[in-house]
Amino acid sequence: MKYSLWLVAALFAFTKTAFADDITTVYVDLNWAAVQFSGPVLPIAPLPGDFPTQTGAVGVNLTTNEVTRTTSEPAGWGTSTSKVQFGPRDYAQSSTDGLLTAFSSITGNYVLDGGLQRTGLIKSVDGTISIAIPYSFSVVTTPGFAAQPRFLIFLFSPDGNLIRDVEIVQTYEGNGIEISNSGILSASASNLQTDTYYGFDIEESAETVHTDEPSTSLLLTTSFVCLGCLFWKRLARDGALGVLGIFPSRINSERK
Query: Per this entry, what is the length of the chain?
Result: 256
pTM for the model stands at 0.79
Cβ atoms of 80 and 67 within 8 Å: the answer is no
pLDDT at 6: 39
Q: Which amino acid is at 92?
A: A
Distance from C-alpha of 206 to C-alpha of 139, rounded to nearest angstrom: 9
Domain ranges of the chain: 24-249
Stretch 175-197: mean pLDDT: 94
Cβ atoms of 242 and 225 within 8 Å: the answer is no
Mean pLDDT of the chain: 79
pLDDT classification of 181: cutoffs 50, 70, 90 = very high
pLDDT classification of 213: cutoffs 50, 70, 90 = low
Q: Which amino acid is at 160?
A: G
What does the pLDDT look like over 104-142, one tens digit per residue? 999 999 999 999 999 999 999 999 999 999 999 999 999
What does the pLDDT look like over 9-56, one tens digit per residue? 333 333 333 334 589 999 999 999 999 999 999 999 998 888 999 999
Stretch 232-246: mean pLDDT: 35
Higher pLDDT, 130 or 65: 130
pLDDT at 231: 37
pLDDT at 21: 57
Q: Is the dihedral of CA 235, 241, 244, 250 positive or negative?
A: negative
Cβ atoms of 224 and 137 within 8 Å: the answer is no
Distance from C-alpha of 58 to C-alpha of 93, rounded to nearest angstrom: 8
Weakest mean pLDDT among 53-67, 171-185, 210-224: 210-224
pLDDT at 174: 81
Weakest mean pLDDT among 95-99, 104-108, 193-197: 95-99
Per-residue pLDDT for 225 more than 70?
Answer: no
